[in-house]
Structure 1
Amino acid sequence: MERHQLIERSIIKKYRKSIWNNFVGAIKDYELISPDDKIAVCISGGKDSMLLAKCMQHLQKYSDFHFDVEYIVMDPGYVGNNRAKIIENAEIMDLPIKIYDSPIFETVYAAEGGSPCYLCARMRRGYLYKFAQELGCNKIALGHHFDDAIETTLMSMLYGAEIKTMMPKLKSTNYEGMELIRPLYMVREKDIISWARYNELEFIRCACKVTQANEEANNGSKRQEVKMLIRKLKEENDNVDMNIFKSVHNVNLATIIGYRDCDGGELHSFTETYNKSEKK
């Protein structure tokens, strides 16, 4: 058995419960894939997106219905060794990638003020939609996982003064007919790390020099702060992470002071219905 086959086999055997079942579970629970979809799996070169690509490749082979997959790598301005590592891992994992170049890092580094990470993420997504649409795709798949989702939920409360989470799927507002899906939504980061180590795979981390500078100066991001907070809370209650995850699946509007319409428009207050309920 070749190495790429062993890597694929590990997902459905050794990591069947922790990775494969959760991957398939998210696709079913959130209705992420439909018959005749053409999905661009977006590969950054990190552990999450590379695992996602391998899961999607296996699913396509044995799915109950037909859908197509493209594997795209958007190079935002990587140094040569990072790009070479992505190509090397794609060959090891038997992933037929298509590489597209973009000037994102150059643009972000030149911008003054604001959040470079936010700008980079927005630009990346725009380019990914563009490249995917050119390939005839109607969806892009990103490698965000369970930990990303719960960290986003806490970050929105602690730093954004709102209750918001990372959604398992979104419709694009700028690219008509395009959607974004997150099939690893229920997969935990620790299991992805374990899978990578088991298969002796080395992936690139964030190749941005802004992130690298922060790490060298020990200036953690807000996401890193929240990650550490969750880790600390789990020492007292091991269910903390799952409770955060489930909280946004179980919102009772009767216990919410205010909420906005689905389109982010009008803000509603509980007082609008409070007195009406008394009169009934």
Structure 2
Amino acid sequence: MTAATLFTPKITPDFDDTGLDNHALDANMDGMEYDDGADDEDYEDSAVTGQSAPTESAQFRKLQKKLRRQVSWAIRDFNMIEEGDVVMVCVSGGKDSYTLLDILLLLKRIAPISFDIVAVNLDQKQPGYPEDILPAYLNEQGIAHYILEKDTYSIVKSVVPEGKTYCSACSRLRRGSLYGFAKQIGATKIALGHHRDDMLATFFLNLFHGGALKSMPPKLLSDDKQNLLIRPLAYVEEKDIIDYARLKEFPIIPCNLCGSQTNLQRAIINDMLREWDNAHPQRLASIFKAMQNVAPSQLADRELFDFEQLSLDRDDNERLFEGDNIQAGQTDSLAEIGLPVSPKAQTFSSKFASDKQDSASKNKTAEGSRSTQKIPTINPVL
């Protein structure tokens, strides 16, 4: 049983923080809705126990239902989870990965197929990292997990020049460890917490700074074909994740332990997206839809579309210019290159002409009506 059944329902820098070669994927969200066959009341609680008052509100139930549906749509559209999968959810301690884990555990409970979830965190030994928070949370909720300890922070500090950002080198070291561990434990899918706004930000980073039209795909096979990456939050907006994390009261671990990183281009892009969203609420949705509706023939990638082999395939039907007249100049030169010196013209199409005549007739009638209309006489007061 596939996810379609389950959820019927010159080298330039690459700013996809999987660090892998991406491929364009197409999705269509319109008119798609996951129906789990149960009432909303069945899902007042999430898959994680230990609820607090905010999670009992109608606002939380409505938001959780929205996220559940959007995640199920993404899983179905890209066949992300299948029967027997072991999904390794990468949990960093941020709002995105907490939300991803929570929603996937909820869907696991109601899915008609069997799949397993394991949470994995990499403790990179940044100074001040609260290493007890995640294990305590995962143990409290009864979630199977691994905590991997590896001092990549020291490596990053030693290889990144002073004043440069650590994020790229840090994420590459993290990926290498997590991807290798997924194969080691037999996980068939690696779930990452990137959401719709992350995908949009990556698109603009590549557009502005990388010279490429590329982003994070919802599903990706690694270059070595050893791992399948999935992003179940691909259809989810960041502002909804912020609200969900607040209502769930997740124990958030801050992502500023490496020190001040003021020159992050991603932060600048994120600010731009938030400004757009505030001023034009539908703009981001439109841009994301465009990422799912790519027309290679309307761009300029010679590898993606064969422009060189384009050729004419005209028929014998003559199509005359529709207009009033054609003036030909330098007729000797025209004749010399074999072009007609007196090309024929024809009047506008009958439909257009009739519409024009009807319009003119109506205008004349209206003018005549105005000219014959009498101005009412008002008797002066005596």
Q: 1:273 to 1:35 in 2, by over 3 A?
A: same
The 5 A counterparts of 1:82-161 are 82-113=130-161, 116-161=166-211
Measured on the aligned residues, the alpha-carbon RMSD in Å equals 2.6
Q: Does 1:253 align with 2:312?
A: no
Question: Does residue 58 of structure 1 match 2:106?
Answer: yes
Q: Residues 157, 278 of structure 1: CA spacing in aligned structure 2 closer, same or farther, 3 A cutoff?
A: farther
Cα deviations by residue, 1:247-266 (Å, 9 ceiling, x for unpaired) = 111111121112545xxxxx
Distance 1:256 1:54 in 2: 40
What's 1:184 paired with? 233
Residues 60 and 238 of structure 1: CA distance in aligned 2, closer, same or farther (over 3 Å) = same
SS of the residue 1:83 aligns to: coil
Q: Number of aligned pairs? A: 265
2:291 aligned with 1:244: no
Question: 1:79: Cα distance to partner?
Answer: 4.0
Instruction: Output aligned runs, 1:151-230, within 5 Å.
Output: 151-174=201-224, 176-209=225-258, 212-214=259-261, 219-230=262-273
- 3-state secondary structure, aligned to 2:132: helix
- Equivalent residue number for residue 347 of structure 2: none
Q: What is the deviation of 1:234? A: 2.8
Contact conserved, 2:90 with 2:120, CA < 8 A, in 1?
Answer: yes
Conserved? CA contact 1:105–1:208, under 8 Å = no
How far the C-alpha of 1:9 sits from its partner, in A, is 7.9
Counterpart residue identity of residue 240, structure 1: R
Residues 68 and 107 of structure 2 are in contact (CA less than 8 Å); yes or no, is this contact kept in structure 1? Answer: no
Query: What is the TM-score when the length of structure 2 is the normalising length?
Result: 0.63
Q: Deviation digits for residues 36-67 of structure 1, max 9, x if unmatched? A: 11111111111111111122222222211111
Matches of 1:39 and 1:193 in 2, distance apart?
24
Per the alignment, residue 14 of structure 1 pairs with 62
Q: Point out where structure 2 has 5 or more consecutive residues left out of the alignment.
A: 1-44, 316-382
Counterpart residue number, 1:39: 87
Please name the residue that 1:4 is paired with.
49
State whether residues 183 and 226 of structure 2, in contact with CA within 8 Å, keep that contact through their aligned partners in structure 1: no
Whether contact under 8 Å (2:60, 2:244) holds in the other structure is no
Q: Give 1:162's aligned amino acid.
A: A
The residue identity in structure 2 corresponding to 1:167 is P
Given that 2:127 and 2:257 are in contact with CA atoms closer than 8 Å, whether structure 1 keeps it comes out as no
SS of residue in 1 equivalent to 2:82: coil
Residue type at the aligned position of 2:254: R
TM-score (normalised: structure 1): 0.85
Does the residue aligned with 1:69 lie in a helix, a strand or coil?
Answer: strand
Cα distance in structure 2, aligned partners of 1:81 and 1:118: 19
Name the structure with the higher helix share.
1
Aligned residues: percent identity?
29
Larger Rg: 2
